[in-house]
Amino acid sequence: MEVMSVSVDSVHSHKVWNETELSNMVEGGVAFPMLSDQTGAIGRMYGVYDEDAGVNIRGRFLIDPDGVVQAAEVLSPPVGRNPEELIRQIKAYQHNRNTGEVMPSGWVEGGQTLKPSTALAGNVWKVWQPPRD
């Protein structure tokens, strides 16, 4: 797994932001590369570049080893992202890739998975129920 961030900010801006802001929130600062997309080319490829503002809108993309986008989330600036949900989804996609099993709603690592089959179609309710609070 490789994690990286991309923004239209310069490499210098990323360095300053990491040293003055992020390192105060995360010990040692961000542990992954921050890429500069000053032309917006990468943002355009993923549909998150705002031409009028000249910025990439907050988005995250889970891309499998074959280069296929498996999940995407785009948020407007007022709402922050949830790193725990991102990690949960990464683990779910890795588990699926390794086993072929699928994760039902509310799945967490170590939780019940389902083995897809024609017999399961229309019968999921017999082997799995959504978590109830």
Give residue-wise pLDDT tens across range 117-129.
999 999 998 988 8
Beta-bridge mates of residue 58 = 75
Domains and CATH numbers, the chain: 1-77 (3.40.30.10), 82-118 (no CATH)
Give residue-wise pLDDT tens across range 43-99.
999 999 999 999 999 999 999 999 999 999 999 888 888 889 989 999 999 999 999
Cβ partners under 8 Å of residue 1, min gap 6? 90, 94
How many CB atoms lie under 10 A from the CB of residue 132?
5
β-pair type (34-36, 5-7): parallel
Q: What is the DSSP letter of 57?
A: P
CB 113 within 8 A of CB 102: yes
1 against 29, higher pLDDT = 29
pTM of the predicted structure, to 2 decimals: 0.79
Using the predicted structure, report yes or no on whether residue 131 has a pLDDT greater than 80.
no
Q: Mean of the pLDDT values across residues 33-44?
A: 94
Beta-bridge mates of residue 71 = 62
